[in-house]
Amino acid sequence: MNLHLIRPLAPAHAASLIAAQVAAGLPVTVVLVDGASPVDVVAAHVAVGEGVPQAEAVTWERVLELTFAADNVAVW
């Protein structure tokens, strides 16, 4: 699983990388931190629609669990 921690004003290439991973069928988890909004990810051309789990609030404990479970972690 590829974990992306998105902060406000994440660079555009972060969104491009996430979109490419999604298009390749790779498992991707995105966590919005420090007040980031879904716009920061949508700007990355990541399609959200049917069959895509909706965002939910996660605790820092859960973020830590996701970090250790991930094959790759990127902080943007």
How does DSSP assign 33-49, residue by residue?
Answer: -TT--HHHHHTTT----
pTM: 0.77
The answer to whether residue 63 scores a pLDDT higher than 80 is yes
DSSP class of 24: T
Sheet-wide strand order for 28-32: 28-32, 2-6, 72-75
pLDDT score recorded for residue 42: 59
- In total, the chain counts a number of residues equal to 76
Q: What's the one-letter identity of residue 63?
A: V
Q: Name the one residue in this structure whose structure tokens are 């991973």.
A: 21
pLDDT in tens, 2-61: 999 988 888 878 888 888 888 899 988 888 888 887 766 655 445 444 444 555 677 888
Q: When comparing pLDDT for 23 and 70, which is higher?
A: 70
